[in-house]
Structure 1
Amino acid sequence: MQNQFEVDVTKIRNDARTQMEQGPVTKTYGADRERLIEVLNQVVATEVVCYLRYSQHAIAATGIDRAQVAAEFTEHAQEELQHGLWAAERVSQLGGSPDFDPATLRERSHTDYVTTDESDLKRMLQENLVAERIVIATYQEMIRWIGESDPTTRRLLEKILEEEEEHADDLTDLLGL
């Protein structure tokens, strides 16, 4: 015989009323909330640095393939900014403060802010591909670390990861790899 699903609705209702100030974080929340907030603020920093790097590359790029490459960089920049905002919103939902402090972005970011010669589109593409590969690897590790302890954050990171993999694929195509 399979396990029957049972839940004490009365207890859940009482807990919901007495612990309203905790917002969406309930007793059943399984993650280390404080550490997860730190990790998500690293995601915020990483995504903002990626946004800035892609934006700089889109504006600075020159050469015969500039229009196509700059358009791709601009699209990726917008998506990176959205990822950072999603992570910041999750930090807030968990009761933390999103950290957009420009003074510490670089040290908290998993990727580097790399500028290149404006005519070296290949190097721009390579530097952005390296950054995408870094975030793919680190976000995969975060997802494994979270496991089942916070399904909402895990799904958020999986959504971001999917877009980061698409970015890497786009850059690989542009590089002809």
Structure 2
Amino acid sequence: MPNQFALDVTKIRDEARQRMEEGPVTATYGGDTNPVLDILNQVVATEIVCYLRYTQNSIAASGIDSFQVATEFQKHAAEELQHALRAADRIDQLGGVANFDPEGLARRAITEYSAPAATDLKSMLQENLVAERIVISAYQEIIRWIGDADPTTRRLMEKILEEEEDHANDLTDLLGV
């Protein structure tokens, strides 16, 4: 076979011992962690904003179908919070610090926080669907940008993207579109 797979195990072991302070970021990491950390902090901010919007909507929802919709909003809120925490964990793994500072949270987010002026369920569903569609497009671009340079972050973003697409599908079903 012309291209046989081979590892220089001695070199890998030596580098692992010499650079232990870098934790899980090894010499084989495929890129610069700084832009990845910046993007992941945008993801953290985005997911927190989505968590806050869904939580507010679940509390404010009223009307004949409000229980079903509020329950779905609560479920989505919990998942958005988990997305933020998973992105924050990845930031920590890469040697960064997750930015949970409320000051500027909305500026760092990809989506907007828009509390409804009323408790109109249709408006809430529509605004959340728009936010999910924004996140889906942005996360697809992030995944393409990461490529093969950081497979762990790419898989994390792919998993979050899958859940965001599920949210958009749930909202579409509730809207009946």
Which TM-score band applies after superposition, normalised by the shorter structure? over 0.9
Once the 2 structures are TM-superposed, how far is the Cα of residue 111 of structure 1 from its aligned partner?
Answer: 0.5
**Structure 2 CA distance for aligned equivalents of residues 74 and 117 of structure 1:** 19
**TM-score normalised over the length of structure 2:** 0.98
| 1:58 corresponding residue in structure 2 | 58
Count of matched residue pairs:
177
Is this contact kept in 2: 1:51–1:80, CA < 8 A? yes
Give the fraction of aligned pairs with identical amino acids, expressed as a percent.
67
Alignment-mate amino acid for residue 95 of structure 1: G
**Structure 2 CA distance for aligned equivalents of residues 121 and 111 of structure 1:** 20
Instruction: Return 27-36 or 51-60, whichever deviates more.
Output: 27-36
Is this contact kept in 2: 1:62–1:118, CA < 8 A? no
**Structure 1 CA distance for aligned equivalents of residues 45 and 163 of structure 2:** 17
Once the 2 structures are TM-superposed, how far is the Cα of residue 27 of structure 1 from its aligned partner?
Answer: 0.6
| 1:142 corresponding residue in structure 2 | 142
| 2:162 corresponding residue in structure 1 | 162
1:9-39, CA deviations, whole angstroms, 9 ceiling, x for partnerless residues?
A: 0000000001000000001101220010000
- Secondary structure of the 1:112 match is coil
Instruction: Return 56-65 or 115-124, whichever deviates more.
Output: 115-124
Alignment-mate amino acid for residue 4 of structure 2: Q
**TM-score normalised over the length of structure 1:** 0.98
| 1:128 corresponding residue in structure 2 | 128
Matches within 5 A, 1:29-108: 29-108=29-108
Matches within 5 A, 1:99-118: 99-118=99-118
**Structure 2 CA distance for aligned equivalents of residues 7 and 174 of structure 1:** 53
Once the 2 structures are TM-superposed, how far is the Cα of residue 2 of structure 1 from its aligned partner?
Answer: 4.7
Alignment-mate amino acid for residue 99 of structure 2: D
**Structure 2 CA distance for aligned equivalents of residues 2 and 46 of structure 1:** 47
Alignment-mate amino acid for residue 53 of structure 1: R
- Secondary structure of the 1:42 match is helix
Once the 2 structures are TM-superposed, how far is the Cα of residue 117 of structure 1 from its aligned partner?
Answer: 3.4
**Structure 2 CA distance for aligned equivalents of residues 125 and 167 of structure 1:** 11
Instruction: Return 118-127 or 46-55, whichever deviates more.
Output: 118-127
Unaligned runs of 5+ in 2: none
Alignment-mate amino acid for residue 55 of structure 2: S
